[in-house]
Structure 1
């Protein structure tokens, strides 16, 4: 009897019990003896320098151990480094307590260390700083003219510059019978995962540290700590078995990690530093973005010219890039194109990747102008996209490894009831509410990174898988266990996946919707090699009837090795270990994408989202009342966790469209709503019943499993679909996000 495959089954999260009962420990929850507590002090000015610091009153508080500032921090190895982590953008990485200069409001300027948290926090209020302020710029719309081409750096291959122009855009646009020009603006958004950023550093003596950190990359943080503090890599261990949300905020090491490790090494004590919610607004934001688009079409509704120009915000010391402008030409053919992307340096912290970075902002503009052009042509928005559908990548002429976007359109529209739509804006009314329907296309790159996996058949005959990846709440533990169990023919409870530990084999940080493809494919490669090693062992044992069999005659299922066609000839994994004199059988394997093969193709996930909104005629308030997203993302390993990912993306897309924005006060250069009372996010009442459709997509090229990531793709179409629905309801185009009711009054 064959095993039923686990891949494709809606398995519940294996760590769910620990999370709902509170037994899962996060970075600030480990019971560490003899623990000191650090509290970060942040700058109250936006730009300038520190003239003096008076710590005397703070130091006089009983229980205060030490106060670290730029004046007394030790000399560190990293001050000669330009890059300190794998995700650093071009420029010079920010160094906390590096000097007296203030580069942005909220910059960390001191760490107060005390015997308990409350004492450290109180003493921090007694520190006296004297500043010299300088003029600053924090508003993108006032600094568009200062934009320049981004610098190149280590991250450039993952975030390449815009594609070169094709044809003659200006002439084609000028002569086109149908054309639309529109500008779009996105305000700042800040990461606010449920788990606050925190680090617990355990001082092991002689330059050895064990660090519990909120991070998406244990190895990235290990490299960071070793590089910064001049330690040996093997003496630094970073652990993150549970991460309470991240989605980009934990890709780079955040400043509490540096300050915590600094204090631990200097004091030779165990130290914990936890940021407060307000301090979470001092880093980790999606940048302000200004976009200007011009699209043109012929009489048949075929796009003839596309121009997408964007200016993004970056800091004064690093060039943070987003992939904003190339998406339209990956979807729609046009002979004449012009894409431009520039950065405007501002006196703010460097932005950071935030779920679907670049894609969700860029696709909002693309899909809104597509909607506007469809109305001008008097063509249904879905039909307009189908007329411009491309089976191959129009920007490179390369085929996709797979593309089932057309089925996303068909199945999503059918589920939503799009055929019932009245095309006329303001034509559908329910009581005092205008009803609008909108749709949009989503696209995201299908990334895969190299990963190293150790596969072990242990002394109990169980399979152990070791890899340094994290699980930021996406279900990584569960899907990796499913993949490994299927590959060796085991049940879920016969597999142990060990992760979230920098001592485990290499993994990139968890981001870009890449980890399932990366670590999952490496698991397949490692377990297959483990099976070959087991087969070789069986053939070498004289007492077993396997010597003359070919490798393809061995079948791994039901926790044993059988002979194909003759299941009575079999051996359990327990017996294999006994035959191996009680020794484990182990393989370590590095695996990654087949770059030689894949360079001939474009790799992408696709989606289509359909949205219904109701807009109150008198108040202008917007309510999303129906939402459907159809996704083509290759093979779905676990429909339950994948659906959860898409639902989370859809909610975040609604939040981006209608709620989230950190408002900058241009006079003071600071965010004025740095709290969850005034930084608006959706609540249950804002979210309707939502449908997720996974379109069948068989991709035999992209990797061994035929899988693509689902973390970002569910979000990229939602803001545009909502904005288009608002137009259909009201007849008004609102191109600045978020759309609050005041813009409709």
Structure 2
């Protein structure tokens, strides 16, 4: 049975677009109920120490202030005596708000003021007085570098660096061409447009309906159920729309705990929203220090790869990322040594941020490759093609598909790479030095177990559901397309429901696995419905399908047609009437095929960037970017292109602007606002071209699609950094590349 209503691969506009632009879409802090009260979090002003005294008397004297929760009066919960970890927790003991008087990082939530109005709660919070006993702190990664250690493999999905192969150090020492450099990346914060918020609606029976800013409603449900010792039936999490997250919503953030605690204690519906400043008080992309040493023969053949990285973590958890592994698989080399360590700082635990690990490790590797090409007198693209890896040497496995070579060729042709003058400072336009740089990108193509339900009613309307999220990636739209095409329906006849913990199981939306995972479940559920329909259709009186085999029919335009004679058909409504049903309901669990384990499954990209640098002032403008992506089957080129465009913009920010500055004396992030935390604006973003390279992959999942959310940012910062060197002749190895470093 086939579907001839071709919707997959078409540039379908977002089905949720109208709701978002008209304001119909509502977010976690926009759901109202009568009697709603408001909580405002009070944050610590020191990085390490303890609370000597909290004086909330002035706040409590205000009419309308209901309570000030602190470690001294918070409810007794078993959670405070054991370490419950949510589904995205790294190993260690997770931070527990209001647990005791200890301060473990600056900005730590230490009180919650609850009042009848938002404005009153915020004012009252400013009246809470805290006395601290200040302890010495350490927030400088360089100062803690010597105390870095190898973390345990505790986090799901983390792959420790593979064991060394060959003799990398000896081969490096003998190599004719050597590069040995250190690269540094700054702390970044997610800063989605929608700040984190939780609205808890308290039921008469004590049940909780919670609108939460999250990338995983079932993870939030599990968290609340465990922390407050509730059954899942008593906790209903909803998140129909998310105003961006980029990883910040993977773990339940502290406003969820605060809101639930207050609602249960006061037996009222409560909303707790974080301010933009408080968005800098949980999770961030970790700072890293990386050493990359590459040794090559005079013709550019790689003979040694050494990649060592030190990342940051908190005192209470081991946050780990896959930073160095990419260096052992991107290029062919028989002598490789990879090392990854973490150092504890008096900061909150870092948090996954778009392409965690890869965006950092590939940046360092690709800059080092550019340096190697320059030293060897080779074209950077030619160097990469010379050392092209046909097989994953880390795992000694073939790739399920790999069209990276096509990415190189098509991207270079579109960019005009052949016209590049190799010498730094050799291309200019008046006072503008012109630089061209390129880099490779790679990310995992993963599938997670997922479930979906499909319900087809006799009027031809289909409702499909799964407890996944849409953080702006287009999940609503692509799932609608998959379902509509599978059953041959129009887009407008299909409704996809998500963001509800009561729906069929789905993983958190992250890792670029949602389409591969949830999409496969949607397809399978709809195929089950299709099988019932075909059986019914064959039994319709006078059915032209009576003797047809499944492979001889197509589902299209609300009908089941003979493929060879399309005018002979049975409508879906006729089939259901024959079956005596008003609706058909099927649920499917899609799990990865075991044969996937025989392959390395990855997305790849080639990024080409042009910069123009003012020779006098040192200002850098990214004037062109071409990103060529090999991402399997592209289900919706419109939303897919949007994902890559957004990722490239972020890559521009990572390369030139984004940095959360910490005052080491205070141990505090200082530019905790959108005025001083610089991100690219319209004037910074110019021509971006996205190319999708044809790639057929029957291994990764039944749809043949690979995720695109992450791959678009990997390699962008490196391509820009390499272009800056080509323009100026100055190599800046510390991100972001700001005026002070360039001048």
Structure 1 residue 20, shift from structure 2 partner = 1.1
Distance 1:270 1:730 in 2: 59
Distance 1:628 1:169 in 2: 34
Structure 1 residue 571, shift from structure 2 partner = 2.3
Structure 1 residue 531, shift from structure 2 partner = 1.4
Instruction: Write the deviation string for residues 112-131 of structure 1: whole angstroms up to 9, x where unpaired.
Output: 00000110011111111111
Instruction: Please show how residues 554-569 of structure 1 align to structure 2 within 5 Å.
Output: 554-569=553-568
Distance 1:423 1:83 in 2: 56
The 3-state SS of whatever aligns with 1:673 is coil
Cα pair 2:5 2:557 within 8 Å, conserved: no
The residue aligned with 1:639 is: 637
The residue aligned with 2:100 is: 99
The residue aligned with 2:473 is: 474
Instruction: Please show how residues 78-227 of structure 1 align to structure 2 within 5 Å.
Output: 78-153=79-154, 155-156=155-156, 158-227=157-226
Cα pair 2:71 2:100 within 8 Å, conserved: yes
The 3-state SS of whatever aligns with 1:367 is helix
In structure 2, relative to structure 1, the CA distance for the partners of 1:549 and 1:412 (3 Å cut) is closer
The residue aligned with 2:649 is: 651
Cα pair 1:43 1:107 within 8 Å, conserved: yes
Cα pair 2:217 2:239 within 8 Å, conserved: yes
Cα pair 1:461 1:577 within 8 Å, conserved: no
In structure 2, relative to structure 1, the CA distance for the partners of 1:413 and 1:548 (3 Å cut) is closer
Q: CA RMSD in A?
A: 1.5
Instruction: Write the deviation string for residues 655-674 of structure 1: whole angstroms up to 9, x where unpaired.
Output: 00000000110101001111
The residue aligned with 2:490 is: 491
Q: Does 1:40 align with 2:41?
A: yes
The residue aligned with 1:328 is: 327
Instruction: Write the deviation string for residues 123-173 of structure 1: whole angstroms up to 9, x where unpaired.
Output: 1111111111111101101110010111232x24x1111111011111111
Distance 1:511 1:411 in 2: 29
Deviates more, 1:540-549 or 1:330-339: 540-549
Structure 1 residue 568, shift from structure 2 partner = 4.6
Distance 1:631 1:649 in 2: 12
Q: How many residues of Structure 1 are paired with residues of Structure 2 in the alignment?
A: 742
The residue aligned with 1:372 is: 371
The residue aligned with 2:618 is: 620
The residue aligned with 2:383 is: 384
Distance 1:206 1:541 in 2: 50
Distance 1:322 1:667 in 2: 28
The residue aligned with 2:701 is: 703
The 3-state SS of whatever aligns with 2:505 is coil
Distance 1:442 1:35 in 2: 48
Cα pair 1:178 1:296 within 8 Å, conserved: yes
Structure 1 residue 80, shift from structure 2 partner = 4.2
Unaligned runs of 5+ in 2: none
Structure 1 residue 410, shift from structure 2 partner = 0.5
Deviates more, 1:392-401 or 1:272-281: 392-401
Distance 1:24 1:500 in 2: 13
Q: Does 1:573 align with 2:572?
A: yes
Instruction: Write the deviation string for residues 403-460 of structure 1: whole angstroms up to 9, x where unpaired.
Output: 0001111011111111001100011121112111100000000111111011111242
The residue aligned with 2:734 is: 736
Instruction: Write the deviation string for residues 494-537 of structure 1: whole angstroms up to 9, x where unpaired.
Output: 11111111111001110011101111111111111221222334
The 3-state SS of whatever aligns with 1:25 is coil
The 3-state SS of whatever aligns with 2:318 is coil
Structure 1 residue 284, shift from structure 2 partner = 2.4
The 3-state SS of whatever aligns with 2:506 is coil
Instruction: Please show how residues 539-554 of structure 1 align to structure 2 within 5 Å.
Output: 548-554=547-553
Cα pair 1:249 1:354 within 8 Å, conserved: yes
Structure 1 residue 544, shift from structure 2 partner = 5.4
Distance 2:195 2:27 in 1: 10
The residue aligned with 1:675 is: 673
Cα pair 2:544 2:569 within 8 Å, conserved: no
Distance 2:310 2:637 in 1: 38
Distance 1:567 1:674 in 2: 62
Distance 1:421 1:547 in 2: 65
Cα pair 2:436 2:611 within 8 Å, conserved: yes
Distance 1:544 1:405 in 2: 49
The 3-state SS of whatever aligns with 2:398 is coil
Unaligned runs of 5+ in 1: none
Structure 1 residue 538, shift from structure 2 partner = 4.1
In structure 2, relative to structure 1, the CA distance for the partners of 1:546 and 1:418 (3 Å cut) is closer
Cα pair 1:200 1:270 within 8 Å, conserved: yes
The 3-state SS of whatever aligns with 1:415 is helix
Structure 1 residue 576, shift from structure 2 partner = 3.0
Instruction: Write the deviation string for residues 167-194 of structure 1: whole angstroms up to 9, x where unpaired.
Output: 1111111111111100011111111000
Structure 1 residue 741, shift from structure 2 partner = 0.9
Distance 2:553 2:152 in 1: 55
The 3-state SS of whatever aligns with 2:29 is coil
Distance 1:134 1:151 in 2: 28
Structure 1 residue 247, shift from structure 2 partner = 1.0
The 3-state SS of whatever aligns with 1:341 is strand
The 3-state SS of whatever aligns with 1:335 is coil
Instruction: Write the deviation string for residues 55-102 of structure 1: whole angstroms up to 9, x where unpaired.
Output: 111100111011111111112232344333110000011111111111
Distance 1:578 1:116 in 2: 55
Cα pair 1:207 1:231 within 8 Å, conserved: no
Instruction: Please show how residues 442-457 of structure 1 align to structure 2 within 5 Å.
Output: 442-457=441-456
The residue aligned with 1:518 is: 517
Instruction: Write the deviation string for residues 611-652 of structure 1: whole angstroms up to 9, x where unpaired.
Output: 111111121111111111100000000101000000000000
Distance 2:354 2:184 in 1: 18
The residue aligned with 2:687 is: 689
Cα pair 2:313 2:345 within 8 Å, conserved: yes
Cα pair 1:221 1:253 within 8 Å, conserved: yes
Cα pair 1:38 1:112 within 8 Å, conserved: yes
Structure 1 residue 18, shift from structure 2 partner = 1.1
In structure 2, relative to structure 1, the CA distance for the partners of 1:597 and 1:39 (3 Å cut) is same
Distance 2:41 2:331 in 1: 49
Distance 2:179 2:562 in 1: 66
Structure 1 residue 309, shift from structure 2 partner = 0.4
The residue aligned with 1:53 is: 54
Cα pair 1:577 1:583 within 8 Å, conserved: yes
The 3-state SS of whatever aligns with 2:333 is coil
The residue aligned with 1:261 is: 260
The residue aligned with 2:69 is: 68
Structure 1 residue 330, shift from structure 2 partner = 1.4
Cα pair 1:77 1:227 within 8 Å, conserved: no
Distance 1:592 1:100 in 2: 45
The 3-state SS of whatever aligns with 1:649 is helix
Cα pair 2:448 2:591 within 8 Å, conserved: yes
TM-score (normalizing by structure 1): 0.98
Cα pair 1:2 1:558 within 8 Å, conserved: no
The 3-state SS of whatever aligns with 2:203 is strand
The residue aligned with 1:629 is: 627
Q: Does 1:14 align with 2:12?
A: no
Cα pair 1:333 1:395 within 8 Å, conserved: no
